[in-house]
Chains A and B, each alone.
Chain A
């Protein structure tokens, strides 16, 4: 397929989408959350009901990726009115089809958040839950069918790739990404444009692009939702990166625990190849690029870039000291670019709308939006995307709907086992890279666990330390032995058997492990401990034996 053919297809798909006025669309959320609460049966029943009423030519049923409020699933979204229904089950589908689709009257008492708001919003976009959000990476997730490349094309799919290949030089693509000020969404926050530039500068006949989809943080499911809900967006981002840095081959490393994400991404690769959007001479240009999927085998440390590279090479996933950085010597010793799923998902909109547009969103130092997986003791658990700099209070209370059972907010945990806790006193913290670090936590990949007074902070620290202890690869001593000793000390405190000497030793050791470990896993393993000590020291103190 060449450029002209792509434009024709996109136009045809757009006509099919918007010009056929009167044709309603009903999107069924088939994200992991809704599937587990029975979305499949809902969809079957929905199709039966529509057929029974003979309106199958007026209504299109679309299975989509995650819509966000997983706690209220299974969810339905009716377009064009944007009426969303929550907790749909087979018993109320008949009513919904009759009223919403036949009589075109939304059923207020079944709408999204009908049980939480005095009066639910007919147009769900008006609800504070969506109004406070800004979806860029997740924009079409929840509206398009992730298994149809045509749906993606209708939503400006591959327009950015076309623009990059024919209107921009690789240097200009990198300049655009630099200008957007986007930073790596995997957690560390390294400026993406600079990373691309450094790989671009190394001259080599073979370079690689790797998409890090080894989302190992417990409590995080952003990458999964993006890969399942809009795989082509990630694929397009990888292609653009390949063009910019001069790579001809890419690997998508996806967790083995996410079979659906793997299936969808492999399907997307096949579809893109068939249309000439992947493979040799993409869209008739001189650029060739191919992508392969690599399945992770369950090792948290493989989220670390050098360990991930070892794993793709079929070896034990143990990290290597850096430098050399993967940009210089990565996969099979070749210059390699590694970015997170969410970073790649943001690339196409940046190229399409320009770096300037993206850089104006968010805060001066952290541009753009961030996806968070909101979970724990919160009313609206699920997937959200907000501009950087949104306060924690807005996320917890305006979007999250507050704490379950009207309890009091105690702490939010960000960054998983590498991050820390934010106590109630800092609810007004702006969620951006620097502010979170100043509180002793990190942005991390986007897991956000909300805790109420029933959560014991010492036990939370112990839980994360146990995780790091199990996941330590064993290569370096500070991490292998240190996490074990820290865990045992924390266990001792949890069992009310520790003395002040143990507490002092714990603090001293935490600093050693942090400073002496080889990679990020050990280097950040003491973070949950140090941050709970900083903000909830009294919980540690109250458990000390007093006879010392």
Chain B
């Protein structure tokens, strides 16, 4: 089979369900280099980020130069080479949220947890990210903690929720 010759499969265990997911997507897209971004989406959804060996696997399967894959991954904000943390706190900094105090929330989080925007705590428990705009401008400022949207958020509320997540309370 084409996929077997293209992918030696040394780096990644084939039995890993996440690898199977990517392999299925590769096959569905017919190993077309044009589908690179679609495949990266699948991989990132499966792993939470894009580990190096996964990128190598995709690179070989699509027969692309590693530089092309790496440059694409680093171009788009959505893709991350590093783990985003067990729990994520995403602060929207779109215009409406900015006008309504998203900066104060970010400052409060950094003051309380020591995690700057875009960083992950040393124990990998909590990652703090900023979003361009999550499109919930009517509810500004908005913060997403582990997929759950906190509408009209206050710094105190967010700190409390985060402490509960990382088991400080």
Query: Are A314 and B33 in contact, CB atoms less than 8 angstroms apart?
Result: yes
Q: Which of B85-103 contact A (CB under 8 A)?
A: 93-96, 98-100
Contact with A along B122-155 (1 / 0, CB 8 A): 0000000001111111111010000001010000
Q: Does A284 lie at the interface of the complex (its beta carbon under 8 Å from any beta carbon of B)?
A: no
Determine how close the nearest CB of chain A comes to the CB of B92; give it in whole angstroms. Answer: 8
Q: Does B16 lie at the interface of the complex (its beta carbon under 8 Å from any beta carbon of A)?
A: no
Q: Which of B33-75 contact A (CB under 8 A)?
A: 33-38, 40-41, 68, 71-72, 75
Query: Are B95 and A463 in contact, CB atoms less than 8 angstroms apart?
Result: yes
Q: Does A397 lie at the interface of the complex (its beta carbon under 8 Å from any beta carbon of B)?
A: no
Q: Does A33 lie at the interface of the complex (its beta carbon under 8 Å from any beta carbon of B)?
A: yes
From B41, B96, B134, contact of A257 by CB (8 A):
B134
Q: Which of B19-27, B76-84, B157-165 interfaces with chain A?
A: B76-84
Query: Are B99 and A377 in contact, CB atoms less than 8 angstroms apart?
Result: yes
Query: Are A463 and B98 in contact, CB atoms less than 8 angstroms apart?
Result: yes
Q: What residues on B are CB-neighbors of A120 within 8 Å?
A: none
CA gap between A382 and B151 in the complex, in Å: 14
From B38, B75, B133, B138, contact of A381 by CB (8 A):
B138
Q: What residues on A are CB-neighbors of B77 within 8 Å?
A: 297-299
CA gap between A69 and B41 in the complex, in Å: 33
Q: Does A440 lie at the interface of the complex (its beta carbon under 8 Å from any beta carbon of B)?
A: no
How many B residues, CB 8 Å from partner? 37
Q: Which of A138-146, A198-206, A212-220, A387-395 interfaces with chain B?
A: A212-220
Q: What residues on A are CB-neighbors of B76 within 8 Å?
A: 297-299, 317
Query: Are B95 and A413 in contact, CB atoms less than 8 angstroms apart?
Result: yes
CA gap between A217 and B40 in the complex, in Å: 24
Q: What residues on A are CB-neighbors of B138 within 8 Å?
A: 33, 69-71, 73, 375, 381-383
Nearest CB in chain B to that of A68: its residue: B138
Query: Are A295 and B41 in contact, CB atoms less than 8 angstroms apart?
Result: yes
How many A residues, CB 8 Å from partner? 51
Known: A37-B151, A376-B99, A463-B98. A297 touches B132 (CB 8 A): no
Q: Which of A96-104, A334-342, A447-455 interfaces with chain B?
A: A447-455
Nearest CB in chain A to that of B138: its residue: A70
Nearest CB in chain A to that of B133: its residue: A218
Q: Does A252 lie at the interface of the complex (its beta carbon under 8 Å from any beta carbon of B)?
A: no
Contact with B along A296-325 (1 / 0, CB 8 A): 111110000000000111111100000000
Query: Are A215 and B135 in contact, CB atoms less than 8 angstroms apart?
Result: yes
Determine how close the nearest CB of chain B comes to the CB of A382; give it in whole angstroms. Answer: 5
CA gap between A70 and B37 in the complex, in Å: 33
Determine how close the nearest CB of chain A comes to the CB of B38; give it in whole angstroms. Answer: 7
Q: What residues on B are CB-neighbors of A217 within 8 Å?
A: 133
Nearest CB in chain A to that of B34: its residue: A314
Determine how close the nearest CB of chain B comes to the CB of A403; give it in whole angstroms. Answer: 12
Determine how close the nearest CB of chain B comes to the CB of A442; give it in whole angstroms. Answer: 15
Query: Are B139 and A299 in contact, CB atoms less than 8 angstroms apart?
Result: no
Query: Are B140 and A375 in contact, CB atoms less than 8 angstroms apart?
Result: yes
CA gap between A467 and B68 in the complex, in Å: 26
Known: A218-B133, A299-B75. A449 touches B96 (CB 8 A): yes
From B34, B98, B136, contact of A313 by CB (8 A):
B34
Query: Are B95 and A221 in contact, CB atoms less than 8 angstroms apart?
Result: no
CA gap between A224 and B32 in the complex, in Å: 29
Query: Are B34 and A297 in contact, CB atoms less than 8 angstroms apart?
Result: no
Q: What residues on A are CB-neighbors of B95 within 8 Å?
A: 218-219, 375-376, 413, 416, 447, 449, 463-464
CA gap between A383 and B137 in the complex, in Å: 10
Query: Are A315 and B72 in contact, CB atoms less than 8 angstroms apart?
Result: yes
Query: Are B135 and A258 in contact, CB atoms less than 8 angstroms apart?
Result: yes
CA gap between A36 and B139 in the complex, in Å: 8
Q: Does A256 lie at the interface of the complex (its beta carbon under 8 Å from any beta carbon of B)?
A: yes
Query: Are B94 and A219 in contact, CB atoms less than 8 angstroms apart?
Result: yes
CA gap between A33 and B149 in the complex, in Å: 9
CA gap between A314 and B98 in the complex, in Å: 32
Query: Are B99 and A455 in contact, CB atoms less than 8 angstroms apart?
Result: yes
Q: What residues on B are CB-neighbors of A312 within 8 Å?
A: 34
Determine how close the nearest CB of chain B comes to the CB of A546; give it in whole angstroms. Answer: 29
CA gap between A35 and B94 in the complex, in Å: 19
For A35, A376, A383, A455, which residue has the most chain B Cβ atoms within 10 angstroms?
A376
Known: A314-B35, A316-B72. A256 touches B41 (CB 8 A): yes
Q: Does A294 lie at the interface of the complex (its beta carbon under 8 Å from any beta carbon of B)?
A: yes
Q: What residues on A are CB-neighbors of B140 within 8 Å?
A: 375-376, 381
Q: What residues on B are CB-neighbors of A294 within 8 Å?
A: 37-38
Q: What residues on A are CB-neighbors of B142 within 8 Å?
A: 36
8 closest A-B pairs (Cβ-Cβ)? A70-B138, A218-B94, A298-B77, A219-B95, A297-B76, A375-B96, A375-B137, A221-B135
Given contacts A35-B149, A37-B139, A311-B37, 10 further A-B contacts (CB under 8 A): A36-B136, A218-B93, A220-B135, A313-B34, A314-B32, A314-B34, A314-B36, A314-B38, A314-B72, A463-B98
The residues of B with any CB-CB pair to A shorter than 8 Å are 32-38, 40-41, 68, 71-72, 75-79, 93-96, 98-100, 131-140, 142, 149, 151
> 26 A-B residue contacts at CB 8 Å?
A32-B136, A36-B136, A36-B149, A70-B136, A70-B139, A216-B132, A219-B137, A220-B133, A220-B135, A256-B41, A257-B135, A258-B135, A295-B38, A295-B41, A296-B78, A298-B77, A299-B75, A300-B132, A311-B37, A314-B72, A317-B76, A373-B137, A375-B96, A381-B96, A413-B95, A467-B132
